[in-house]
């Protein structure tokens, strides 16, 4: 087994599937010779040629239209949106077109497309580069939205996404790209889309989270443990569809929950988790389910990011509020 960063695991997944299936095509802005602005596609054009891994003109709507058309002719497109704030340029392509292809055609056509994109805060990017738009995506019926938090998960989930016959939005948190390494098998494996993972077991409180906030929550759980509070940390891994079975089972055990997301409070995924806990486990709760989120502003300018983003002390504080309710 090799030690890999998340970005290496992502490249490895694409390499694996480019080898496995000649219909897999990787394309987007600067993904060819340049290997992507984060180097996620580094070396792939050299290895698989310009027919399989190629640059597009600079136009996001064109890129997703291209993906839809290639999907119709038997290819499995893996398209990159260079930074996820640029998805606004192709909301029709993503939410209006590929998400609805199967439905509009009564199941006759589908969109076996993976939309890869870096997102997420804490790396001081310019405006519209870091935005957490997963809530927007999760609100579009027909899309699956996957957000890995570790190199191991990233490889398995990306392979599953590329092999899925429906469109998957695969969001890669920029801060996690190179923040740590872990053991990642060199052979292929998949992780089921729509299955959450318990990243830490506990009996006193359930912390439901995803993306970079998994690590923030794990750090908070360690602090809480020092005070005798055992928090269970659930990494959703997929924010649409939500694996509420895993969450509800945990809440039935711990009787308390908080939801932690990097996105603004109004941005959806956390609210949906709270509503579903209410639907399925309200009589098991000893306290209201609270949220740790960013405030409802536009994503902040770089100099304000550190304060704007939730951190582990916010999680600890909110967890204690629930414990002491």
Compare residues 168 and 212 and give the one whose CB is closer to another protein. Answer: 168
In the residue annotation, 129 being an active-site residue is answered as yes
Calpha distance 70→89 (Å, rounded): 20
Compare residues 63 and 259 and give the one whose CB is closer to another protein. Answer: 63
Compare residues 91 and 287 and give the one whose CB is closer to another protein. Answer: 91
- Choose among 89, 44, 96, 106: nearest CA to 68: 96
- The Cβ of residue 102 has, within 10 Å, a number of other Cβ atoms equal to 17
Phi, psi of 105 (to 5 degrees): -100, 15
Which entry of 110, 129, 173, 312 is annotated as an active-site residue? 129
Smallest gap from Cβ 259 to another protein, in A, equals 17
Strand order of the β-sheet with 53-55 is: 53-55, 24-28, 76-80, 114-119, 168-173, 144-146, 238-240
Smallest gap from Cβ 110 to another protein, in A, equals 7
- The Cβ of residue 89 has, within 10 Å, a number of other Cβ atoms equal to 17
Smallest gap from Cβ 243 to another protein, in A, equals 7
Residues 162 and 76 sit within 8 Å (Cβ to Cβ) = yes
Calpha distance 212→235 (Å, rounded): 10
Residues that bind another protein (CB under 8 A): 25, 51, 56-57, 59, 61-62, 64-75, 92-93, 96-97, 102-110, 141-142, 144, 164-166, 194, 241-245
Continuous H helices in the chain: 6-20, 44-48, 60-72, 91, 101-104, 134-138, 151-163, 213-226, 244-254, 269-281, 305-308, 312-323
Compare residues 71 and 202 and give the one whose CB is closer to another protein. Answer: 71
Smallest gap from Cβ 100 to another protein, in A, equals 9
Beta bridge partners, 54, equal 27
Cβ density class 159-182: b for 16+ within 10 Å, e for less:
bbbbbbebbbbbbbbbbbbeeeee
What sign does the CA torsion over 29, 34, 38, 43 have?
A: positive
Smallest gap from Cβ 68 to another protein, in A, equals 5
Tokens of 166: 């429906």
Smallest gap from Cβ 164 to another protein, in A, equals 8
Beta bridge partners, 64, equal none
- Choose among 324, 297, 12, 268: nearest CA to 151: 12
Smallest gap from Cβ 144 to another protein, in A, equals 8
**Positions marked catalytic:** 129
């Amino acid at each position: 087994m090799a030690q890999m960063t998340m970005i290496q695991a992502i490249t490895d997944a694409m390499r694996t599937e480019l080898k496995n299936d000649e219909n897999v095509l990787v394309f987007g802005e600067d993904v060819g010779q340049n290997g992507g602005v984060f180097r996620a596609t580094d070396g792939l054009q050299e290895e698989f040629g310009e027919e399989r891994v190629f640059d597009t003109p600079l136009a996001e709507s064109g890129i997703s239209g291209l993906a839809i058309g290639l999907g119709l002719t038997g290819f499995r497109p893996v398209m990159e949106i260079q930074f996820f704030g640029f998805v606004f340029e192709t909301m029709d392509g993503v939410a209006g077109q590929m998400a609805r292809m199967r439905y509009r055609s009564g199941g006759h056509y589908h969109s076996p497309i993976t939309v890869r994109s870096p997102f997420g805060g804490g790396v001081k990017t310019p405006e519209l580069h870091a935005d957490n738009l997963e809530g927007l995506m999760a609100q579009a019926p027909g899309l699956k939205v996957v957000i890995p938090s570790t190199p191991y998960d990233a490889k398995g989930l990306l392979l599953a996404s590329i092999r899925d016959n429906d469109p998957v939005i695969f969001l890669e948190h920029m801060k996690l790209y190179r923040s740590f390494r872990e053991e990642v098998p060199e052979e292929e494996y998949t992780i089921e889309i729509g299955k959450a993972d318990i990243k830490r077991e506990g009996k006193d409180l359930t912390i439901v989270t995803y993306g970079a906030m998994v690590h923030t929550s794990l750090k908070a759980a360690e602090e809480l443990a020092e005070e005798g509070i055992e928090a269970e940390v659930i990494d959703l891994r997929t924010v649409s569809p939500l694996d509420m079975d895993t969450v509800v089972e945990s809440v039935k055990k711990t009787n308390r929950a908080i939801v932690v997301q990097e996105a603004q409070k109004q941005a959806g995924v956390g609210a949906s988790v709270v509503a579903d806990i209410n639907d399925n486990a309200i009589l098991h709760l000893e306290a209201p389910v609270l949220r740790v989120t960013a405030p409802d502003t536009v994503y902040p300018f770089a100099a304000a990011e550190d304060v704007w983003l939730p951190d582990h002390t916010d999680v600890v504080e909110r967890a204690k509020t629930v414990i002491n309710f």
